[in-house]
Amino acid sequence: MLKAKGLTRVYRLGGEEIRALDGVDFHVRSGEHVRIVGASGSGKSTLLNLLAGLDHPTAGSIETSAGSLTEMPPARIAEYRARWIGMVFQSFNLIPHQSALQNVALGMLFIGLPARERLRRAEETLTELGLADRLHHRPGDLSGGEQQRVALARALAKRPRLLLADEPTGNLDQENSARLAEWFARLSAAGLTIVVVTHDQQLAQRAVHRTLEMSYGRIVRETTHREVGPTAEGRC
């Protein structure tokens, strides 16, 4: 599904070189649920941004089922992101002046679905996530947990092959974190490939196949909790 080799990302800040990722080798199989943990500044989010094609590695390569991400032109990377990737962020990243329904429908704008189909899928996904009575509410009128579910709905409605989540429970209370963990478990059980950066033990303990621990831009430990089932393999 996804294979990174020698992945390196170097930033220059005020003349100083910061090595956020330092030769990371990494792979994710279809249907696998991978958790990435590590201290702040260990390179977790940088790795996730590179996998999403939002950032470009200084060195190394990322091979995906859609092709080599490091060799794709920018327009194809954007298309890959639109069609293959669903992203969930710690700070939700919803557009504040749009309703929940519009935010979710917007997630499908760049895959060329007609407006009616986008709205139908958005409504369906929000309803599945328990937000049927919040369709026309703006993010400012929703609780943190509801906003994160809208963000999850936006990521899922376009039916991505890979869900990337960066500290998705970071801004949620315990109850909402547990609810989101439950959703991730269900999605993983349904065979969706998930890479999640988290400190949340609840999220970590539910249905994770592997945990990677990062430190100073490298993967320092890899723990396999369980193997990917044949059903899940077959999905992607």
Partner 1 sequence: MLGEFLGMAAGNLWRMKLRTGLTVAGVAIGIGALVTMFSFAFGLQRNVSAEFRELGLFNTLHVMPGGPSGGPGVVVDGEDPDDSAAAAEVVGEDTGGAADSIVILDDAAIEAIAALPGVVHVYPQDTFDARLVWGSQEREVTAQALPASFGQKRGVRKILAGRFFTADSVPEIVLSDRVLRAWEAAPDSIVGDTITLQAAGRGALVREFVGPMLEDERLPDELRALGQGISEFYLSRLGENRCRLAVVGVIEVERGWGFRLHDALVPSGIAGGLDRLGFSNPIELLARMSAGAGAGYPLAVVTLDQRADAEAVREAIEARGLQVLSFAAEFARMRRAFLIFDIIVGVVGIVALAVAALGILNTMVMSILERVREIGILKSLGARDSQIRWLFLVESGLIGLLGSVGGWLLGWGVSRILSLIVGRLLVSQGNPPIDFFVMTAGLAAAAIGFGVVVSLLSGLLPAARAARVDPVQALRRE
Tell the smallest beta-carbon distance from residue 108 to partner 1 (Å): 8
**Which tokens is 126 given?**
């929000």
DSSP β-bridge partners for residue 67: 64
Which of 169, 128, 158 has the alpha carbon at shortest distance from 35?
A: 169
Where does this chain bind partner 1 (CB under 8 A)? 49, 52, 54-55, 74-75, 78-79, 81-83, 85, 87, 89, 91, 93-95, 97, 106-107, 109-112, 115, 154
67 vs 112, beta carbon nearer partner 1: 112
Tell the smallest beta-carbon distance from residue 49 to partner 1 (Å): 5
129 vs 207, beta carbon nearer partner 1: 129
Tell the smallest beta-carbon distance from residue 79 to partner 1 (Å): 7
Give 225's DSSP letter: -
Tell the smallest beta-carbon distance from residue 223 to partner 1 (Å): 28
How far is residue 183's CA from residue 76's CA, in Å, rounded to a whole number? 30
55 vs 124, beta carbon nearer partner 1: 55
45 vs 176, beta carbon nearer partner 1: 45
Residues 213/228, Cβ–Cβ less than 8 Å = no
Grouping H, G, I as helix, E, B as strand and the rest as coil, residue 62 is strand
Show Cβ contacts of residue 56 under 8 Å, excluding neighbours closer than 6 positions.
Answer: 50, 70
